[in-house]
Amino acid sequence: MGKYLNKEQIFDAEDGEDLYANEEQLVARLEFFEKQLSEQTPDTPVEERINTLLEIARIQVERYKGADAWEKAMAAFDLAKDNELWELATEACDAMFLSEGPDALKALGHALWLSVTFPIDPEITVAMLQHLVEESPKGADTKAYAAAVAHYIVSIRRGANDDLTFFASQMIASVADEHSHVTDQSTFDLWRKTLQLDKPEVFLPKLSSAVEQLVGDNWWVDRDTIRAKLDAEGK
């Protein structure tokens, strides 16, 4: 998960000098990528432009400049959407969510939908689902459904013996402990069966309902068109 922003990172500084040094480094990086962005032309590959916008957005998140982070991430999202670069679109939504703007949860809803709908890097999908686990109220079933979807998707995209699958398993175990104080295997098995976390036909629609609540009626993508295209491609 190292490629994703840790909002607490800036607080790792031991004293004010370290904080100041960190800010200096962030400003230097910001100036580098803003210069890169200003030098890009209509011939610049769209992926390069998107990635530059995302770098700026992430730096601004670290600097607690949420409005600018949102602006750059939304620009990146629009470019990614128009070019059907769905993994980058998901990363743009992640940056918008981390900016903590007024529509941050709407951005998370889009990130979740895109990262589950498209066969993108499962590490990104798990990171988005982990956001949902962290944002859901303590004891909410949504946490369990998000963790179950994470494990299900990773198992499909990476296989049972992958490190990310192990991470997703730990994610479910952690949610089970918080949700119902589950600490042993037999109780976990009962908890999993009770919530039907072994049934994709149950937990996937539950996640979909959670996403609908986050986004409401204001979708930034045409889901029907996307579904139709995926069906035509047999994905």
DSSP character at residue 8? T
Q: Residue 228 belongs to what domain range?
A: 104-235
Query: Which of 102, 120, 139 marks a domain boundary?
Result: 102
* Average confidence (pLDDT) over 86-90: 98
Q: What is the pLDDT of residues 140-159, one digit of tens each?
A: 999 999 999 999 999 999 87
In this structure, are 112 and 228 located in the same domain?
A: yes
**pLDDT of the residue at 162:** 82
Closest C-alpha to 116, from 95, 94, 92, 90: 90
pLDDT at 2 over 60: no
pLDDT at 6 over 60: no
- For the entire predicted model, the pTM comes to 0.88
**pLDDT of the residue at 177:** 93
In this structure, are 90 and 115 located in the same domain?
A: no
Query: Which of 85, 102, 119 marks a domain boundary?
Result: 102
Residue 160 binned pLDDT confidence (cut-offs 50, 70, 90) = confident
Which region, left, alpha or beta, applies to residue 37 given φ > 0 means left and ψ of -120 to 50 means alpha?
A: alpha
Residue 134 binned pLDDT confidence (cut-offs 50, 70, 90) = very high
In this structure, are 96 and 114 located in the same domain?
A: no
